[in-house]
Amino acid sequence: MTNLHVLTLNCWGVPIPIVCKKRKERMLAIAEELGKGEYDIVILQEIWDKEDHKTIETKTCKTFKYSHFFYSGVIGAGLYVLSKFPICETFFHRFPVSGYVQKIQHGDWFGGKGVGLCVIKVNDIYVNLYCTHLHAEYHKENDEYLAHRISQSLELSQFIKHTSRVCDFILLAGDLNLDSYDLGYKLIRCNANLKDSWTEKKSTLTEDDGGNTCDIPTNSFSGSGDLSNPKGKRIDYILYRDNECTSIEVTGCSVTMGRIPGKTFNYSDHDGVQSTFLVKKSEKTVPTSKPEYDFKTLLLEASSVINNGLNKVQSDNQFYKVFMAVSSVVLFILIMYPPVEGVIKSFLTIFVSVVIFFIFIILYILNKNEENSLLSSRNDIKVLLRES
């Protein structure tokens, strides 16, 4: 029998001072808090800067003998796992569709979104720990990344389902960028057959005890534009499942790591979530109850979202083809019938050539990757529908 205390926290580690406030001070405070040893396993997101990684590693190495940082994309996946127990195996699976390179202001594409797996041996129990950070939602009413996030949710749930058959205990933790009423959240829980430690916790839930971790009014980094929902959003989760001959009980779950003691600001723009599990071997096999969602209905809804995403790809392709054709005509005029001469002509010629090249990359490489990835997700859904 083992008590396992788990924490997940999005650390808001964007390495741009104007965008990310008081980053170095916050990372030091996070490292010092984790170094106290209150948690057995810690899952961090948005650790993108090497200096931040080093700060946390240095301050926590005596507490956590084992750790693993997942590398991916241009700036790294930002996923960092700390453990008091041995990490036996690791693996990272990158999502093939994850935003747009031209949307530099969002930056999700550069992070190489995916799911990291750590196999952790907790005494005589093998834990498959999955950590992830799905694509952000920037506009609720006009969400251009909805198809990407649904594709990621499906792929994440499939990955967990097919890699967790031989372990004792499954944990999924991180910033899912999904509310508990969103399609992606339901899809993950239903397809991977996961429980939510927040809703399963033993303490009584109250109306104000909603587990919200992001855009909450008490967070010093929540701007006025973030507070359309006055109580904030619940998008950070610790989900779990027991396998055969393992018994899991959630003895506590709460939101934590809000305001830094003695400071006027928070550890991050997210609060953390901590869950305590009582894990023990069981001689009897108790079947895990299925989530209260109709899987076929979820798949049909997901298929509709993916189809809308494919339609958007086709629409974007038409736009870029027209744009490239117009740019090509402009380049032809600049070369054959230049309206200007000298330095201005050279500058305009180079500029238009670069634009055409960039459009070509988007049209025939990046958009093609997006289209094929969404088609793959749609085909996976078709197979699941056939078998459901």
- Whether the per-residue pLDDT at 81 is higher than 60: the answer is yes
Structure tokens at 157: 């749930």
Contact status, residue 246 vs residue 282, Cβ threshold 8 Å: yes
Q: Are residues 191 and 307 in the same domain?
A: no
Q: Which of 248, 281, 314 is the last residue of a domain?
A: 281
Q: d(Cα 142, Cα 71) in Å, to the nearest integer?
A: 31
What is the pLDDT confidence band of residue 21, given thresholds at 50, 70 and 90?
A: very high
Contact status, residue 142 vs residue 131, Cβ threshold 8 Å: no
Contact status, residue 287 vs residue 230, Cβ threshold 8 Å: no
Q: d(Cα 100, Cα 106) in Å, to the nearest integer?
A: 9
Q: Are residues 275 and 324 in the same domain?
A: no
What pLDDT does residue 104 have? 83
198-224 pLDDT, tens digit each: 999 855 455 456 889 999 988 999 876
- Whether the per-residue pLDDT at 149 is higher than 90: the answer is yes
Contact status, residue 176 vs residue 184, Cβ threshold 8 Å: yes
Q: Are residues 31 and 135 in the same domain?
A: yes
DSSP 133-162: EPPP-S-SSS-TTHHHHHHHHHHHHHHHHH
Q: Are residues 301 and 218 in the same domain?
A: no
Q: Are residues 89 and 225 in the same domain?
A: yes
Q: Are residues 29 and 152 in the same domain?
A: yes
Question: Residues near 18 by Cβ (< 8 Å), separated by ≥ 6?
Answer: none
- Whether the per-residue pLDDT at 225 is higher than 60: the answer is no
What is the pLDDT confidence band of residue 286, given thresholds at 50, 70 and 90?
A: low
Contact status, residue 172 vs residue 159, Cβ threshold 8 Å: no
289 lies in some domain: no
Q: Are residues 145 and 203 in the same domain?
A: yes
Question: Residues near 222 by Cβ (< 8 Å), separated by ≥ 6?
Answer: 215, 216, 232, 269
Q: Are residues 215 and 354 in the same domain?
A: no
Q: Which of 258, 281, 304 is the last residue of a domain?
A: 281
Alpha-carbon dihedral of residues 208, 213, 219, 225, nearest 10 degrees?
Answer: -100
What pLDDT does residue 285 have? 61
What pLDDT does residue 284 have? 61
What is the pLDDT confidence band of residue 27, given thresholds at 50, 70 and 90?
A: very high
- Whether the per-residue pLDDT at 66 is higher than 90: the answer is yes
368 lies in some domain: yes
Q: Are residues 66 and 167 in the same domain?
A: yes
The active-site residue out of 68, 133, 148, 270 is: 270
286 lies in some domain: no
φ and ψ of 255, to 5 deg: -85, 140
- Amino acid identity of residue 114, one-letter, is G
- Whether the per-residue pLDDT at 301 is higher than 50: the answer is yes
- Whether the per-residue pLDDT at 80 is higher than 50: the answer is yes
77 lies in some domain: yes
Q: d(Cα 278, Cα 40) in Å, to the nearest integer?
A: 13
What is the pLDDT confidence band of residue 315, given thresholds at 50, 70 and 90?
A: very high
- Give Cα 106 distance to the centre of its chain: 14
Question: Residues near 107 by Cβ (< 8 Å), separated by ≥ 6?
Answer: 14, 75, 99
What pLDDT does residue 207 have? 45
CATH number (domain holding residue 141): 3.60.10.10
What pLDDT does residue 203 have? 52
In terms of residue numbers, what domain contains 212? Answer: 2-281
- Whether the per-residue pLDDT at 16 is higher than 70: the answer is yes
Q: With pLDDT > 70 as the criterion, what percentage of the chain qualifies?
A: 95
What pLDDT does residue 2 have? 87
Which segments of 35-145 does DSSP mark as H helices, in order? 50-60
C-alpha angle 89-278-266 in degrees, rounded to nearest 5: 75
Number of domains in the chain: 2
Q: Are residues 262 and 133 in the same domain?
A: yes
Q: Are residues 270 and 306 in the same domain?
A: no
Q: Are residues 83 and 157 in the same domain?
A: yes
- Amino acid identity of residue 63, one-letter, is T
270 in catalytic set: yes
Average the pLDDT over 296-313 and give the result.
Answer: 96
How many Cβ atoms are within 10 Å of 206's Cβ, its own excluded? 7
Average the pLDDT over 260-279 and give the result.
Answer: 95
Name the pTM for this structure.
Answer: 0.91
- Whether the per-residue pLDDT at 334 is higher than 60: the answer is yes
Beta bridge partners of 67: 82
